[in-house]
Amino acid sequence: MKTLRICAALIALACSIASAHAGTRVYELGGLGCGFGLNPAAALAAKIPGTHVYGCYFNADAFIADASRHKGDRIILIGHSMGAAAVGQMCPILVRRGLQVKMIGLDGLLTGANTSGCPGAVHFWQGGYQMPGAHNVYVPSSYGHIAFPSDPVVQAKVLAAAGGRSPTLHHVAAH
């Protein structure tokens, strides 16, 4: 009986240590304009506490490799335009690797990303295409496709979908 209590205490200690080190990593992938310095959504993921990594849709492979090294963390993928297609392809890969992933697409421009391997995937759209396998939510916006992530209504929906809270201090990794 004493051995069982010691084992239970050790397991509880290990779980508390593991949960203390688990965090949130937010990967935000921009679309075509990202390569030209356009970053309309940079402030979006910054409103979600955690480590924020911004890049372009073509950084998807590097982000998959980085996220795979953080198995204890909650992974939030946010992609706009071509970045939405990229996170739609990234999410099922990371889920198969055993990570806890939340995928949020914004006005995806490609129909090729199928998020059926990504439970709880959501895609907010206004002028782009719906994403197969995701919960597609139409959000009318006067901001236009490029600035869609800057729309306060869109930002509120993304924060709610991500489980985000008020902005807090977080680390920003260089892309």
Q: How many helices (H) and strands (E) would you count in the chain?
A: 6, 7
Give burial (CB, 10 Å; 0-12/13-18/19+) of 77: buried
The pLDDT tens digits for 48-64 are 888 888 888 999 999 99
Topology of the domain comprising 24-173: Rossmann fold (3.40.50)
**Torsion angles phi and psi, residue 77, rounded to 5:** -105, 125
Average pLDDT, the chain: 78
State what percent of residues in the chain have pLDDT above 70.
74
Task: Using the predicted structure, report yes or no on whether residue 168 has a pLDDT greater than 60.
Answer: no
Residue 55: φ, ψ to 5° = -165, -170
Give the pLDDT of residue 43: 65
Contacts of 6 (CB under 8 A, 6+ apart): none
CA pair distance 6, 32, nearest whole angstrom: 56
Please list the residues that pair with 101 across neighbouring strands.
75
Query: Per-residue confidence at 112, pLDDT binned at 50, 70, 90?
Result: low
Mean pLDDT over residues 73-88, rounded?
92
pLDDT, greater one: 47 or 134: 134
Mean pLDDT of the region 152-159: 90
Assign 34 a pLDDT band (cuts: 50, 70, 90): confident
Q: What is the pLDDT of residue 166?
A: 36
| Pairs from 33-36 (Cβ < 8 Å, separation ≥ 24) | 33/81, 33/146, 34/83
Between CA 32 and CA 34 the distance in angstroms is: 5
Sequence ranges of the domains in the chain:
24-173
C-alpha span between 136 and 130 (Å, rounded): 6
Given a contact cutoff of 8 angstroms between Cβ atoms, the answer to whether 84 and 30 are in contact is no
